[in-house]
Amino acid sequence: MIRVQGLTKLYAGVPAVDDLTFDVESGKVTGFLGPNGAGKSTTMRMILGLDRPTAGTSSVGGRRYVDFPAPLREIGALLDAGAMHPGRTGRAHLRIGARSNGVPLARVEEVIDQVGLGGAAGRRVKGYSLGMRQRLGIAAALLGDPPVLLFDEPVNGLDLDGVRWIRTLFRGLADEGRTVLVSSHLMSEMQLIADRVVVIGRGRLIADEDIAGMLGGLGGRRIRVRTPQVDDLANALGPDVTVTRSGPGELEVGGLVASEVGELAHAHGIPLHHLAEVEQSLEEAYLSLTEGEVEHQGQVLGALGEGASA
């Protein structure tokens, strides 16, 4: 288990991480979400002892990272796929890691095969694509077969096959009882991978709950229904039901399940052309949670043009 308690990091007096407290449980994939500059990478770096916290503590299995004599056997981490010597071969990079932690060199070949690096392991890292560097970084994280794993944006640069592979890998690692903390901007991926999410914004904790709880926080289940008689249907649904017009001939209904809406329409002789639950997404939940927490925000070109001409 990873425990973060009151973790704070100031850069020139400006908080990058601000009194952050959360736990990452074993046997689950925990998504670590937040806008750019929210402090996700800084938090991970502090957990790994790379950055010194201004205040607070972090521990893995009750111990500080720096206290592990062979940390690769306790925690595997991929923070930055570009953070390796470009003139070294992938295999040499992994062998250095293995030697530094007393991992048998045979394990290097195992993880090379596991991440699908194959023949590329003998080539210098400067010739690697971003996806290959990610795979090499993941191989390094798996080298000591650790019970705790941290990944910072691991699907960056991976092709579709790679993304599917990593999805299966993370699920498998969690199912083996390991602790997996993954940061990512890809909400659709996190919805598929994560059991639980920790959301931060401007260095502060915004949410720490399981995926179902996050989605439930959007206002519960909604039903989308299309009919040529929207007014009749709205009246038939009754006053206790939340009804909003989401398009021409289309309503979104809250407070009922799809079968109840169908039965009510049938009872009133109202024809339905479409009846389905609205797929709630982690992206919507994330956006509603992090609204106002985004450090850098773009503008649409039209708005820029208007501003320029004003």
Partner 1 sequence: MSTATVVVRASRAEWSRIWSVRSSWFLVAAIALAVVGLGTVAGLDVANNPGQGQEGGGTAWDVAGFTTMFALFGTVAWSVVASTTDHATGAIVPTLQWTPRRGLLLAVRSTVITATVTLVGAALVAVASLAVRAVAPGLELPLAEGARSLGDTAMVLACAALLSIGLGLATRSTAAAVVIAVALLLFLPVFMGQLPYEWAVTVAKHLPGSSALFLILGNDLFDDLTATTARLTLVSWAAAALAVGGRRLVRSDAT
Query: Which residues lie near partner 1 (CB under 8 A)?
Result: 45, 48-52, 65-66, 68-72, 77, 79-80, 82-89, 92-93, 95-97, 99-102, 140
CB of 157 to partner 1, least distance (A): 16
Token digits of residue 74:
């306790």
274-277, strands of its sheet edge to edge: 242-247, 250-254, 222-226, 274-277
CB of 217 to partner 1, least distance (A): 35
Residue whose CB is less far from partner 1, 85 or 266: 85
Q: Which one, of 30, 283, 36, lies nearest residue 150 by Cα?
A: 30
Q: Residue 225: what residue type?
A: V
Residue whose CB is less far from partner 1, 18 or 152: 152
CB atoms < 10 A from the CB of 201, how many?
A: 22
CB of 210 to partner 1, least distance (A): 29
CB of 109 to partner 1, least distance (A): 16
Task: Please identify which residue in the block is written with the tokens 């191989």.
Answer: 139
Angstrom distance (rounded) from CA 227 to CA 231: 9
Alpha helices in 73-159 (DSSP H): 90-100, 105-115, 130-142
Residue whose CB is less far from partner 1, 85 or 245: 85
Residues 44, 49, 55, 59, Cα dihedral to 10°? 80
Residue whose CB is less far from partner 1, 46 or 253: 46
204 pairs with which residues across the strands? 201
Residue whose CB is less far from partner 1, 31 or 137: 137
CB of 223 to partner 1, least distance (A): 49
